[in-house]
Amino acid sequence: MLFLVLLASIVLWSILNGMPLINNLRAKWEAYRLQAQWEKPYREDTYGGKTPEETYDMFLAALSKGDTTLASKYFVIEKQDNWDKTLGEYKNNSLLASFTKELEDTRKIWKKSEKSTENLVSFTYINTVSKDKTVDFEGQKITIPSGNYINETMFEINTYTKIWKISVL
């Protein structure tokens, strides 16, 4: 009888003290699984160049061919769906060619910003609006007064694949 009580005590103690250890291991495994799931699109991302300029040129080449889906893949992963939709609307409204031309012209006057780092590169350029114009931005009419505006195109590196992605256009 004493043996059974002792055995039951050992089993009970093992359950009470072992469960937190098991729960801790399970929580760590779940955190690892979620982290791997979150990182997967970044690790599998192959669209981009070894330099910001190369990525931009690849982006422009895709736009010139009218391949808006491919062009959107040169953006950071979080913005790809929005840019795919936007570029698709430009294509459907016959605005893609003029947009591409504007971006090609922009590329010619870029100046690398001093605030660039090894993981984030910014290029600035001046955009001149010769007369006031009204544009539709996400369903709202916005008036842009004439003048000179400093614009910026930003790139960031995918730290997993070491390719450059467009983050701000």
Q: What is the pLDDT of residues 80-112, one digit of tens each?
A: 999 999 999 999 999 999 999 999 999 999 999
Torsion on CA atoms 105, 107, 109, 115, rounded to nearest 10: 150
Q: Using CA atoms, how far apart are residues 112 and 88, in angstroms rounded to an integer?
A: 29
Q: What is the pLDDT of residues 108-139, one digit of tens each?
A: 999 998 888 899 999 999 888 888 888 877 77
* Prediction pTM value: 0.76
Torsion on CA atoms 152, 96, 67, 46, rounded to nearest 10: 0
